[in-house]
Amino acid sequence: MHWDMASLANAAMATVIFGVIGIFLTLFGYKIFDWILPKIDVQKELGENRNIAVAIVAAAVIVSIGIVVSAAISG
């Protein structure tokens, strides 16, 4: 297989662009999750109360949103 620099640069640029889009969409999805549950102060629960259950739920939400964003980007 022969790679030329133009196709390699295009692939690298697409990877960076879609990576940034994926990170932005994951953060946006987490902010929506945080907005939907206003009674739970995630920052307080994690920082002051060290609530492991909230940490697990927050991690699960981020991973789930990441899977959905990945599937949406890859088509």
**pLDDT, tens digit, for every residue of 11-35?**
889 989 999 999 999 999 999 988 9
Is 37 within the bounds of a domain? yes
Domain count, the chain: 1
**How confident is residue 8, by pLDDT bands cut at 50, 70 and 90?**
confident
Q: Which of 19, 27, 31, 26 is nearest to 74 (CA)?
A: 19
Q: Which of 63, 57, 66 is nearest to 36 (CA)?
A: 57
Is 7 within the bounds of a domain? no
In the chain, the percentage of residues whose pLDDT exceeds 90 is: 45
SS3 39: coil
pTM: 0.74
Q: Is the pLDDT of residue 57 over 70?
A: yes
**How confident is residue 1, by pLDDT bands cut at 50, 70 and 90?**
low
Distance of alpha carbon 59 from alpha carbon 42, whole angstroms:
11
Q: Which residue has the tokens 């009674």?
A: 39
Is 30 within the bounds of a domain? yes
- Domain span holding position 54: 20-74
